[in-house]
């Protein structure tokens, strides 16, 4: 356990009568955030909220972690009633402290299956109803009826929040106030108040949602500008992403735990083992992880090593993967040797460790790609099914062959001892495919660039959208040529992060170095911001000459990058042909 966390647990146990302490994580805007659940034994005359200052006192000189407090009896009732939130938070791997020797009143496979089915059904229903109002908001926006569009946005958020409450096992009540509904979930989802704070300059804007509802009932309107509505819409979309992501993550991770229960039961049945007298006290999630690399020999500061190992432990706790492999890394002053690139770039200054990982699982479920962060360590993680890896290795797939033969195994389940057939890569065929891919992409980029360069008059929004198209074509094509693998259903911003698996060239050029560059990059990566905002605001000072120059630079950059990747494949193909001839 982390030293700071252990210190915090010791302090809490000394000052409070706690039945259990859990530490769990949840996704928040492409990152992972930690939260504590404190199960408090009842104290006469005191509610959990009254004891909150004690928790804050214990954190006064350590990293502050959001926390939720619940009485023991209420916690047990929530588990029995199938609360998705309390079930996820109380999974055995999340437990830091237990004063009671009694087994948790949950966690049978049958109970979890029923919980998952009901939670997904209810949330799916509320999402469908909520999305209908979101679509209506767009329709009224198209009519320039911003007041009615805001009312539709209120209905969208109200239904989404109530569905979120139901999934968490909370009673939403009869309130129609989005602000009140948001406050009601602040203990279990404090990150929502970061998006919609109840105090501060943006609070008045947030209150327009409830004002629109109140006025609509009177058949009256509110005064709201397009810019205000767009800002409100952007925040609502962020809140939607957080709620959907939390529910999806909890379902996925509870499903992974259920899979471990099933695997443990199947293994026990296959072995014909007799249950030992003390078996009830053993967790079916007992770790069988082999640490193949602890980074003790890496030229990193100790804090980096500590955070990287903590990140890998989190992956193990969340997914119980068969194997975790590292393809590359970058950190302050050091870079790993990319298996996808022969010539290495110079070392660069930096402040964090960036890992490029592949997680192998028997059933990865809905996981495809994820960005994670723990302390000074971050990771771009690709999830693959074991059967997918086995199939592609047998077929001589370039990416899977390189990953398997040149990747570094960091963690492995003790029972995972693969003996996969590893076919040779047909480098001539790989070169032909990459060369054809680049030829087609180059033609598309050339056509877009020609339009930007030769058009008599282009609006700023059109210029930005065309630049975004150039960027998307270039990034995807580079990954296809240099790596041979593009993660499925991944946002362009994450693909740019993932490109670091082959080196820093793309990141070093594309990473914005000023506020205006950050704004331009955001617009290129999120075209909906261009669709729905007034592009004359903030960018109108830039002439078409700027966009023409930027388009020309972008095309030239990707030509250099992709042609270099194709040329490297050509060299490998030539070497393979030469070796085959000599043999």
| CATH classification of the domain holding 241 | 1.20.120.330
How far is it, in rounded angstroms, from Cα 134 to Cα 132?
A: 5
| Per-residue b or e along 73-93, where b marks 16 or more CB atoms closer than 10 Å to that residue's CB | eebbebbeebbbbbbbbbbbb
Cα separations in angstroms, 531 against 141, 148, 519, 523: 12, 20, 15, 10
Q: Do 500 and 328 contact (CB within 8 A), yes or no?
A: yes
Full DSSP string of 508-533: HHHS--SHHHHHHHHHHH-HHHHHHS
Residue 121, C-beta contacts closer than 8 angstroms, at least 6 positions apart: none
Residue 22: Cβ-neighbour burial (10 angstroms; 0-12, 13-18, 19+): buried
Q: Do 335 and 329 contact (CB within 8 A), yes or no?
A: yes
Mark which of 383, 413, 443 sits at the end of a domain. 413
| Overall domain count for the chain | 4
How far is it, in rounded angstroms, from Cα 416 to Cα 418?
A: 6
Claim to verify: residue 331 and residue 227 sit in the same structural domain: no
Residue 359, C-beta contacts closer than 8 angstroms, at least 6 positions apart: 315, 319, 321, 323, 324, 367, 381, 382, 383, 384
Q: Do 152 and 133 contact (CB within 8 A), yes or no?
A: yes
Asked whether residue 418 is domain-assigned, the answer is no
pLDDT for 557 equals 95
Claim to verify: residue 95 and residue 134 sit in the same structural domain: no
How far is it, in rounded angstroms, from Cα 18 to Cα 97?
A: 9
pLDDT for 483 equals 94
Q: At how many degrees (to 10) do helices 427-454 and 460-482 cross?
A: 170
Claim to verify: residue 246 and residue 115 sit in the same structural domain: yes
Mark which of 54, 87, 106 sits at the end of a domain. 106
Mark which of 64, 86, 106 sits at the end of a domain. 106
**DSSP-assigned letter for residue 92:** G
Asked whether residue 379 is domain-assigned, the answer is yes
Asked whether residue 264 is domain-assigned, the answer is no
pLDDT for 279 equals 37
Q: Record the tokens describing residue 106, joined without a space.
A: 């949950």
Claim to verify: residue 577 and residue 539 sit in the same structural domain: yes
Q: Record the tokens describing residue 195, joined without a space.
A: 């998006």
Asked whether residue 335 is domain-assigned, the answer is yes
Asked whether residue 159 is domain-assigned, the answer is yes
- Find the CATH number of the domain harbouring 343: 3.30.460
Asked whether residue 367 is domain-assigned, the answer is yes
pLDDT for 332 equals 61
Q: Determine the 3-state secondary structure of 380 from DSSP.
A: strand
pLDDT for 275 equals 44
Claim to verify: residue 344 and residue 238 sit in the same structural domain: no
Helix (H) or strand (E) holding 24: strand 18-28
pLDDT for 429 equals 94
pLDDT for 108 equals 59
pLDDT for 559 equals 96
Cα separations in angstroms, 362 against 279, 359, 388: 26, 10, 10
Counting as low any pLDDT under 70, the low residues of the chain are 1-3, 28-31, 100-115, 117-118, 171-173, 198-202, 262-287, 332-351, 533-543, 580-583
**DSSP-assigned letter for residue 566:** H
Claim to verify: residue 302 and residue 233 sit in the same structural domain: no
Instruction: Name the H helices within 272-301.
Output: none
Q: Record the tokens describing residue 344, joined without a space.
A: 């290495």
Claim to verify: residue 527 and residue 548 sit in the same structural domain: yes
Helix (H) or strand (E) holding 128: helix 109-142
Q: What is the pTM of this model?
A: 0.53
Helix (H) or strand (E) holding 387: helix 386-394
Claim to verify: residue 442 and residue 529 sit in the same structural domain: yes
Claim to verify: residue 49 and residue 182 sit in the same structural domain: no
Claim to verify: residue 502 and residue 551 sit in the same structural domain: yes
Asked whether residue 212 is domain-assigned, the answer is yes
Asked whether residue 306 is domain-assigned, the answer is yes
pLDDT for 425 equals 93
Claim to verify: residue 186 and residue 228 sit in the same structural domain: yes
Claim to verify: residue 571 and residue 433 sit in the same structural domain: yes
pLDDT for 346 equals 42
Range of the domain at 213: 111-250
């Amino acid at each position: 356990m982390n030293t700071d966390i252990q210190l915090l647990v010791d302090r809490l146990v000394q000052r409070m009568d706690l039945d259990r302490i859990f530490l769990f994580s949840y996704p928040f805007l492409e990152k992972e955030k930690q939260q504590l659940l404190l199960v408090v034994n009842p104290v006469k005359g005191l509610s959990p909220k009254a004891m909150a200052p004690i928790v804050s006192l214990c954190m006064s000189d350590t990293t502050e972690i959001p926390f939720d407090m619940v009485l023991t009896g209420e916690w047990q009732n929530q588990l029995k009633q199938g609360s998705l939130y309390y079930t996820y938070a109380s999974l055995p791997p999340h437990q830091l402290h237990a004063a009671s020797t009694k087994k948790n009143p949950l966690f049978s496979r049958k109970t979890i299956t029923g919980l998952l089915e009901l939670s997904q059904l209810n949330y799916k229903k509320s999402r469908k109803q909520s999305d209908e109002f979101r679509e209506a908001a767009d329709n009224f926006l198209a009519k320039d009826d911003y007041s009615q569009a805001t009312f539709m946005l209120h209905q969208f958020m109200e239904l989404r929040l109530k569905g979120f409450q139901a999934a968490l096992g909370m009673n939403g009540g009869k309130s129609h106030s989005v602000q009140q509904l948001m406050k009601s979930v602040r203990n279990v989802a404090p990150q929502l108040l970061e998006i919609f704070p109840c105090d501060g300059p943006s609070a008045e804007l947030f209150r327009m949602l409830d004002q629109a509802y109140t006025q609509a009932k009177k058949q009256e309107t509110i005064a709201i500008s397009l810019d205000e509505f767009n800002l409100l819409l952007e925040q609502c979309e962020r809140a939607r992403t957080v709620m959907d992501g939390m529910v999806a993550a909890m379902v996925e991770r509870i499903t992974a735990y259920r899979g471990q229960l099933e695997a443990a039961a199947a293994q026990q049945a296959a072995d014909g083992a007799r249950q030992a007298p003390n078996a009830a006290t053993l967790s079916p999630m007992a770790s069988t992880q082999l640490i193949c690399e602890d980074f003790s020999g890496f030229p990193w500061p100790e804090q980096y090593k500590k955070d990287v190992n903590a990140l890998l432990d989190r992956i193990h706790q969340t997914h119980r993967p068969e194997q975790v492999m590292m393809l590359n890394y970058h950190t302050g002053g050091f870079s790993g040797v990319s298996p996808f690139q022969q010539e290495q770039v110079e070392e660069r200054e930096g402040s964090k460790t960036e890992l490029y990982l592949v997680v192998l699982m028997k059933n990865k479920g809905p996981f495809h790609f994820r960005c994670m962060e723990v302390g000074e360590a971050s990771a771009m993680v690709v999830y693959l099914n074991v059967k997918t890896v086995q199939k592609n290795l047998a077929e001589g797939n370039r990416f899977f062959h390189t990953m398997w033969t040149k990747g570094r195994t960091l963690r492995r389940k003790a029972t995972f001892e693969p003996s996969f057939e590893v076919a040779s890569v047909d480098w001539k065929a790989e070169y032909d495919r990459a060369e054809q891919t680049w030829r087609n992409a180059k033609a598309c980029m050339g056509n877009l660039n020609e339009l930007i360069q030769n058009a008599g008059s282009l609006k700023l929004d059109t210029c930005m959208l065309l630049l975004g198209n150039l960027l998307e074509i270039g990034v995807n094509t580079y990954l296809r040529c240099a790596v041979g693998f593009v993660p499925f259903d991944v946002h362009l911003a994450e693909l740019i992060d993932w490109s670091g698996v082959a080196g820093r060239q793309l990141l070093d050029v594309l990473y914005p170095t000023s506020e205006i560059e950050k704004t331009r990059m955001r617009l290129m990566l999120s075209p909906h911001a261009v669709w729905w905002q007034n592009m004359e605001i903030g960018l109108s000072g830039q002439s078409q000459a700027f966009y023409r120059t930027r388009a020309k630079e972008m095309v030239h950059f990707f030509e250099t990058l992709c042609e270099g990747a194709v040329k490297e494949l050509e060299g490998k193909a030539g070497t393979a042909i030469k070796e085959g001839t000599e043999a």
